[in-house]
């Protein structure tokens, strides 16, 4: 995985890009004129694989770090996401041993209390 930072209309997004092996299609060169980039896609598991345990934001704030990846095994109490509110970072922890099924937020995203951050299986 490569971590990249992109700016779209003045908004900065930190994204992860997966490098595929030799069997992947060859890369196509970028067009010479910059095209409008779509909003960053949410990282999630394949269709039908959304987890049955929803981990929600305990407070409104801004996501400052996503500490897990889809498919990662986590233990109860492991940090999943960090939310900043009033200059304090608060970790959102896994409620039980599980596997990350989907990540519903990205770094820099503002979230409301109760917003689903991560789903687990």
Token reading at 110:
């503002």
Separation of alpha carbons 8 and 5, rounded Å: 10
* CATH number of the structural domain spanning residue 106: 2.40.50.100
- Residue 57 falls inside a structural domain: yes
Percent of residues in the chain assigned helix, strand, coil, to nearest 5: 0, 45, 55
Q: Tens place of pLDDT for every residue, the chain, 121 residues?
A: 677 788 877 788 787 777 776 655 555 555 555 555 555 544 544 444 577 899 999 999 999 999 999 999 999 999 999 999 998 999 999 999 999 999 999 999 999 999 999 999 9
- Total of domains in the chain: 1
The answer to pTM > 0.85 is no
Structural domain for 66, as ranges = 39-121
Separation of alpha carbons 28 and 58, rounded Å: 43
- Residue 94 falls inside a structural domain: yes
Instruction: Check if the beta carbon of residue 105 is closer than 8 Å to that of residue 81.
Output: yes
């Amino acid at each position: 995985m490569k971590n990249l930072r992109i700016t779209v209309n003045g908004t900065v997004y930190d994204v992860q890009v997966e490098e595929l092996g030799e069997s992947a299609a060859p890369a196509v060169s970028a067009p010479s004129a910059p095209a409008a980039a779509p909003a960053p896609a949410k990282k999630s598991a394949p269709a039908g694989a959304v987890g049955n345990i929803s981990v929600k934001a305990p407070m409104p704030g801004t996501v400052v770090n996503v500490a897990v990846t889809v498919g990662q095994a986590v233990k109860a109490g492991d940090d999943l996401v960090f939310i900043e509110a009033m200059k304090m970072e608060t970790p959102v922890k896994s409620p039980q041993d599980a596997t990350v099924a989907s990540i519903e937020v990205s770094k820099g995203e503002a979230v409301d209390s109760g917003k689903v951050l991560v789903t687990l299986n």
